[in-house]
Every structure is written in structure tokens, then in C-alpha cells.
């Protein structure tokens, strides 16, 4: 009798376990139920229904949303690297070679890749705010150490690697935070603008370089160190600007902290509607039903990207690789081109760079709204293809020696007026088209992979090409950059995602949704 009872209990336990396992399966579009059954992803069975995404998306753009838009650190850092090369090459400073100038950019980008992967993972695991508010400290500390302890080339690039590490984390942290707070109606233009504000940092760097790199005013071994000191001050300032921001309600929601998320959204609504007319939730909006407790991992994101969302992954990689090679190759060696081919030296580079940065900033600012009005696919493909063709035309003029320092700069300013909006749209794309649970990790993955394949090698390659003083060799480098941009633009036409005006949850259904 006891044996039969024990057997019945065991059978009941097995049945309950099977039922619980079935309840825990996440059935996402394009996924395989058997695979999910083998590797259960849900660890919490408390299903919730939430209006948080709909409440956030229907808010009018306000002063609160402006606080999220702080993204100028990388622009300052990249500008510093691009303009100090000729100073660092002096024998009375660090005495580095032209190839080593290109290598500085490569090492910086390698640090950014590592930072994106590590800090992007932590952002999905521990929260957007946890990383969003702390990353500026990493950047600031590394900038200070570069200024004080950059006594030779090895030490300089070591500390510069850590600067890149902090900046890499910014990419995933900033883009995921912006997307999850900004209303869907203006998400495209805001994301494009935020990534374009990178060039405000560039403009600051270019302007300050006119003073700091003027060796008749400041010794050559001190001006560039003050440059990095400014980066330290800016990093600390951005920390204080961000510390009042709350955690992302969307992140809290999928991690089982719905009450906290509701409270934050209510506070945001009070702030916004105190100065703006109240907007009701659209009638066609629906609540998101999820089962909190989703586990994030690199294994999961790889499985999602290469099995479920292959087309999206190919698109994201193409956009990222194209813009990374295009931008990093040209910009990190910008000052070197002016020096080698137009006899422009370090104390004057900032003048030309100011116009370059203005073009880069105005592009996203002016064109950004069209990504919401005209749509993602026509604007992304259009900016990529057009910027590639403009570079090709400029390359022919460069090859035939038809340009001078001023006209070369003006051509680049026009090219990057378009390309800057295109490059920003690459980050917009990868931040929108993957599920909430994997957003920061997806951004970091695509940034790291795209930048690794396109960004690490391009400064080194272009540095080597420019150092030869051969116009034909530099020309073919530009042609290759053109081909990558045009290819990515054409690919967008065929497999791009129409996401303008839609909620993030509709574009990519949360993996924990029921």
C-alpha cells in the first residue's frame, strides 16, 4: 500500500514538473518550442500585464527627455586622438611614427569593443541606470591618468585603451536608455540626434585645440595633456547630470519589479503633464503580458541572432561595419592627410576640423526628423548610398590633385553631413529591432563586431596608406570604404525593418511575453 502511494506521489510530481516546464516556455516568433524546452529561459512564473510601454510611448517630448540626451564624450575623445597625432610625433614629446598614430586609434577602438561587451552585458543584468551613471567615472579616471601618466607611447596607449573601454560602454548604455524612455513618435529623430551630439564633443575638441596645440602659447608637452584633463572634467560633469535619472521602467518591468516601474512612470507623467497637455493612451494600444525573470547571456543572444533573426543580424552587421570602416578610417587620419598632402600642421588643424564637426552635427540635427516622417528604410538606405557616392566623387578629385586643404575639408563636411545621420541610424536600427531583454547586449554585440571588423583595422590601414604619400593608394582605400557603405545601403532597401512610430515591444516582441 505504501509502495503504491509513493509511486503515485512520484508520478504526480513528474506531471507537475512537466506542467511547470510547459508554462515556463517562451514561444517567440520564429523560435522552436523544442529548443526552449531543452533550455528553459523563464525562472519566475508570476505573469504580469503592464501598460508601462504604452504610457511611456504616448508622452509628449519634454524637458525630462532632454536629461537622457547626454552623449558627447566619444566625440571629444576621437577629436583629441585625431588632432594630437602630429604633436605626439615630435621628438621632444613622444616621438611616435605615422603608423603609430594610426595604431593609437586602433587601440582606442579595441578598448571600446571590450567595454561594450562587458558593460553592455552588465547593463542588461543590473540595470540601465547602474551603468548609465557610472561609466563617466571610468572615462574620467582614464583621461586623468592619460594626462598625468602618459609618459611614453606604451603608457599612453594603455590608458587610452581604458578611455575606449568606458566609451564602449556608453554606446550600449546610452542607446538602450534613450530608446526605452523616448516616446515612439519621436524616437528616431531623438536617437539620431543623440548619436549626432557626439560631434558637439568633436566641436569642443576642435575649438580648444586651436589654443592648446598652439606651441607658441603652450609648450608642446603640456597642451595635449590639458586636452585630456578637459575630458576628465567633462566626464565628472556628465555624471552629475545623469545621477537624477531613474531606472528604465521597461527594464524594471521584465525583471519583476513592476510596482517600482509603475511608480517611476507615474512620477514621469506628473512632471511631463504639469507643463504639457495630458495625452490619453491610444485606443489601439495593448498591455504587454510578460513573465518576469528572464535570464540574459551571450549564448542566448547568439542563438537568437544567428538562428531566429538571421536577416536582422546580417543587416545590423552590414550597417555597423560600413559606418565603422568609413568613419574611423577617415577621421582618425584626417589630420595626417592635411599634413602629408596639404602641409597643414597641428596648430592649424583645429580650424579645418571645426567645419568638419559642424557638418557632422548638422546632418543628424536636420535630417533626423525625416527618419520618423519619411521612414527608416528610405532614409537609412539613402544616407548610406549617398554618402558613399559623395566620397567616391571626392576621391577622384583627391586623386587628380584638384583639391586644397579648404576644398578637401568642405567636401568632407558635405560627405559627413549625410554620413553622420547614416552612421547614427545604424545604432538606432540595432537598438530597435531586438527584444528588450537583449537590447544593451545586442547593441554592444553589433557595435563590437562591426567596429572590430571595420573600425579597428581601418585607422591602421589608412594611417599606413597616408604615410606613403601615394594618392593612388589612399584613393583605393576610399573606394573600399565607399563600397561598404553602398552595399549596406542597398541591403537596407531589401531587408530593412519599418519601425517608425511603433512601440519597441511591437517591433520586437519581448522574449518573456506570454
Mean pLDDT, the chain cut into blocks of 10 residues (514 residues total): 47 44 38 36 61 90 74 61 70 77 80 89 85 85 88 87 88 82 89 82 78 80 84 84 86 86 92 88 84 71 79 91 86 81 78 85 92 94 96 94 91 93 90 84 85 77 86 92 95 92 86 70
Q: Do the beta carbons of residue 448 and residue 319 sit within 8 Å?
A: no
Q: CA 264, CA 251: separation in Å to the nearest integer? A: 12
Q: CA 72, CA 310: separation in Å to the nearest integer? A: 32
| Residue 225 to residues 88, 132, 313, Cα–Cα distance (Å) | 11, 26, 41
Residues 6+ apart with CB under 8 A from 378: none
Angle, vertex CA 497, rays to CA 493 and CA 500, nearest 5: 110
Q: For 50, phi and psi rounded to 5 degrees?
A: -135, 140
Number of neighbours of residue 56 by Cβ within 10 angstroms? 23
Residues 6+ apart with CB under 8 A from 328: 105, 109, 451, 454, 455, 458, 459
* pTM (two decimals): 0.78
Q: What cell was used for 359?
A: 557638418
Q: Residue 175 has what pLDDT?
A: 80
Q: Do the beta carbons of residue 210 and residue 351 sit within 8 Å?
A: yes
Q: Residue 318 has what pLDDT?
A: 93
Q: CA 95, CA 26: separation in Å to the nearest integer? A: 58
CATH of domain 52-251+292-507: 1.20.1250.20
Q: CA 140, CA 163: separation in Å to the nearest integer? A: 8
Q: CA 459, CA 104: separation in Å to the nearest integer? A: 8
Among the listed residues 342, 83, 417, 102, the one whose alpha carbon sits nearest the alpha carbon of residue 223: 83
Alpha helices in 127-219 (DSSP H): 128-132, 135-149, 153-181, 187-196, 198-212
Q: Do the beta carbons of residue 393 and residue 417 sit within 8 Å?
A: no
Q: CA 8, CA 296: separation in Å to the nearest integer? A: 37
Which secondary structure element, helix H or strand E, spans residue 498, and what is its range?
Answer: none
Which secondary structure element, helix H or strand E, spans residue 374, and what is its range?
Answer: none
Q: Residue 43 has what pLDDT?
A: 39
Q: Residue 18 has what pLDDT?
A: 44
Amino acid at each position: 500500500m505504501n509502495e503504491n502511494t509513493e509511486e503515485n506521489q512520484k508520478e504526480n510530481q513528474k506531471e507537475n514538473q512537466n506542467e511547470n516546464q510547459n508554462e515556463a516556455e517562451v514561444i517567440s516568433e520564429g523560435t522552436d518550442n523544442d529548443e526552449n524546452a531543452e533550455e528553459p529561459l523563464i525562472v519566475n512564473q508570476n505573469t504580469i500585464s503592464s501598460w508601462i510601454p504604452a504610457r511611456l510611448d504616448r508622452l509628449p517630448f519634454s524637458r525630462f527627455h532632454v536629461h537622457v540626451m547626454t552623449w558627447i564624450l566619444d566625440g571629444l575623445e576621437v577629436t583629441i586622438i585625431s588632432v594630437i597625432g602630429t604633436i605626439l610625433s615630435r621628438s621632444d614629446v613622444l616621438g611616435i611614427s605615422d603608423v603609430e598614430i594610426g595604431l593609437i586609434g586602433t587601440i582606442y577602438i579595441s578598448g571600446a569593443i571590450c567595454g561594450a561587451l562587458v558593460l553592455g552585458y552588465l547593463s542588461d543584468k543590473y540595470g540601465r541606470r547602474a551603468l548609465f551613471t557610472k561609466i563617466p567615472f571610468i572615462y574620467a579616471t582614464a583621461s586623468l591618468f592619460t594626462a598625468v601618466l602618459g609618459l611614453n607611447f606604451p603608457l599612453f596607449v594603455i590608458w587610452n585603451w581604458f578611455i575606449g573601454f568606458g566609451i564602449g560602454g556608453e554606446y550600449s548604455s546610452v542607446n538602450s536608455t534613450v530608446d526605452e524612455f523616448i516616446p515612439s513618435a519621436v524616437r528616431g529623430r531623438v536617437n539620431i540626434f543623440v548619436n549626432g551630439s557626439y560631434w558637439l564633443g568633436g566641436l569642443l575638441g576642435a575649438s580648444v585645440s586651436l589654443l592648446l596645440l598652439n606651441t607658441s602659447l603652450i609648450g608642446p608637452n603640456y597642451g595635449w595633456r590639458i586636452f585630456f584633463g578637459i575630458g576628465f572634467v567633462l566626464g565628472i560633469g556628465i555624471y552629475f547630470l545623469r545621477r537624477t535619472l531613474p531606472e528604465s521602467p521597461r527594464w524594471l518591468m521584465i525583471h519583476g519589479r513592476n510596482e517600482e516601474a509603475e511608480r517611476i512612470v507615474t512620477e514621469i507623467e506628473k512632471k511631463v503633464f504639469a507643463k504639457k497637455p495630458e495625452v490619453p493612451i491610444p485606443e489601439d494600444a495593448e498591455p504587454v503580458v510578460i513573465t518576469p525573470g528572464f535570464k540574459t547571456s551571450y549564448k542566448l543572444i547568439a542563438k537568437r541572432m544567428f538562428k531566429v533573426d538571421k536577416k536582422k543580424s546580417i543587416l545590423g552587421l552590414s550597417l555597423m561595419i560600413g559606418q565603422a570602416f568609413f568613419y574611423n578610417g577617415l577621421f582618425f587620419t584626417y589630420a595626417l592627410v592635411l599634413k602629408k598632402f596639404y602641409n597643414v600642421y597641428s596648430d592649424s588643424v583645429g580650424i579645418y576640423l571645426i567645419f568638419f564637426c559642424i557638418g557632422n552635427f548638422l546632418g543628424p540635427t536636420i535630417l533626423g526628423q525625416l527618419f520618423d516622417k519619411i521612414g527608416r528604410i528610405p532614409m537609412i538606405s539613402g544616407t548610406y548610398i549617398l554618402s558613399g557616392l559623395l566620397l567616391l566623387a571626392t576621391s577622384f578629385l583627391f586623386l587628380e590633385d584638384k583639391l586644397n586643404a579648404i576644398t578637401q575639408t568642405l567636401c568632407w563636411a558635405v560627405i559627413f553631413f549625410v554620413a553622420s545621420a547614416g552612421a547614427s541610424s545604424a545604432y538606432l536600427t540595432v537598438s530597435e529591432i531586438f527584444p528588450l531583454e537583449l537590447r544593451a547586449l545586442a547593441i554592444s554585440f553589433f557595435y563590437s563586431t562591426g567596429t572590430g571588423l571595420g573600425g579597428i583595422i581601418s585607422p591602421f590601414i589608412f594611417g599606413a596608406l597616408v604615410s606613403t604619400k601615394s594618392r593612388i593608394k589612399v584613393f583605393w582605400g576610399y573606394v573600399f570604404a565607399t563600397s561598404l557603405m553602398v552595399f549596406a545601403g542597398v541591403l537596407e532597401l531589401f531587408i530593412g525593418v519599418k519601425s517608425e512610430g511603433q512601440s519597441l515591444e511591437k517591433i520586437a516582441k519581448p522574449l518573456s511575453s506570454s
